[in-house]
Amino acid sequence: MFETTIAGSLPKPGWLAEEDKLWPAWKAEGKDLARAKRDATLLWLKEQEDAGIDIVTDGEQSRQHFVHGFLEYVEGIDFEHKVKMGIRNNRYDAMVPVVVGPLKLKGRVHRTEAVLMRNHSKGKIKITMPGPMTIVDTLADRHYGDKVKLAMAFAELLNQEARALEKDGVDTIQFDEPAFNVFMGDVTKWGIDALHVAIKGLKKVKTCVHICYGYGIKANTDWKETLGSEWRQYEQIFPALAKSKLDQVSLECIHSRVPAELMKLLKGKDVLVGVIDVASDKVETPEEVAKTIGQALKYVPKKHLFPCTNCGMAPMSREIAIAKLKALAAGAALARRRYR
């Protein structure tokens, strides 16, 4: 009961990449970089397990950014001539690569991390990948000329990698779709269909979609201020997700203005409830975490409730991220005793 997990990313150590940045530059190259990524992945695997996290991730130590890390493995994308583009409905500007030809995977994307985790962990492991809608919102297109066509092309590539990850022994595959909270109308029109393409043919793995209000960076916290006293974006997409083929939905909860009762719209799904705030350096107490779990329990049955972080912890300090992992596990342990 109350198996814990995290949204995905963790801070990169200073010897691997620049710290406190969303698009950090690597500190090494070639073989040295590959070794450093491996070391950082193992380090975070150990930190998560020592903290008591049940379903661990690679902390996304091998990718510079949660979307562009995947795109680097895709043929047909020009990374040399990035263009400036407003993303998430112009919430902030990013330098994005450009689609210039038919898309094809250059090879395996996350095999190294998946196999490393499988060999070094006795518990459950999760790999996260960007969802099709979020990908098409984080690059420019000069080839397909149609957003949905482009998204479906990416969904096929994600599916190719997802099937391979299942063979590697990964337990959960999660797609990050922060764009679902921005383009709600498109979610029901084609966003969920694209995820269905990404998960087709998967048999054993749990499939998850993570939908949040973004990393704890200024552009996002400013945006949240404009969303009013109640954030009801989930209300427009959860009924369709409840009917979808995905097993799990990861959502933002603690310190958000999301009305908790919206969780009941996810009937039948596992709900990864955000009980750790990634936009604040203040470390939650186990009591706070247990209380948030208690509130979610009013709307989510025990067997479907997985305590999680609101979003990735990539832009945080390493010490705070470790303290938050411990708070997550300790809070879930307290909740297990309290709500048995």
Give the residues lining the site for Zn ion (CB under 5 A). 212, 311
Q: Which pair of structure tokens corresponds to residue 121?
A: 């962990």
- Comparison of 212 and 305: residue with beta carbon closer to Zn ion: 212
DSSP 176-245: E-GGGGT-HHHIIIIIHHHHHHHHTT--SSEEEEEE-S--SSHHHHHHHHTT-SS--HHHHHHHHHHTSS
| Least distance between Zn ion and beta carbon 250 (Å) | 8
CB 81 within 8 A of CB 142: no
| Least distance between Zn ion and beta carbon 9 (Å) | 9
Mapping DSSP to helix (H, G, I), strand (E, B) and coil, where does residue 171 land?
A: coil
Of 88, 41, 43, 82, residue with least CA distance to 215 = 88
| Least distance between Zn ion and beta carbon 66 (Å) | 8
- Comparison of 214 and 331: residue with beta carbon closer to Zn ion: 214
| Least distance between Zn ion and beta carbon 230 (Å) | 20
Q: Which pair of structure tokens corresponds to residue 285?
A: 């107490």
| Least distance between Zn ion and beta carbon 122 (Å) | 27
Of 45, 59, 70, residue with least CA distance to 7 = 59
| Least distance between Zn ion and beta carbon 128 (Å) | 9
- Comparison of 212 and 322: residue with beta carbon closer to Zn ion: 212
| Least distance between Zn ion and beta carbon 274 (Å) | 9
- Comparison of 194 and 311: residue with beta carbon closer to Zn ion: 311
- Comparison of 98 and 309: residue with beta carbon closer to Zn ion: 309
- Comparison of 160 and 233: residue with beta carbon closer to Zn ion: 233
Q: Which pair of structure tokens corresponds to residue 30?
A: 């070639």
DSSP 91-151: TEEEEEEEEEEEEEE-S-SSHHHHHHHHHH-SSEEEEEEE-HHHHHTTSEESSS--HHHHH
- Comparison of 97 and 216: residue with beta carbon closer to Zn ion: 216
CB 6 within 8 A of CB 325: yes
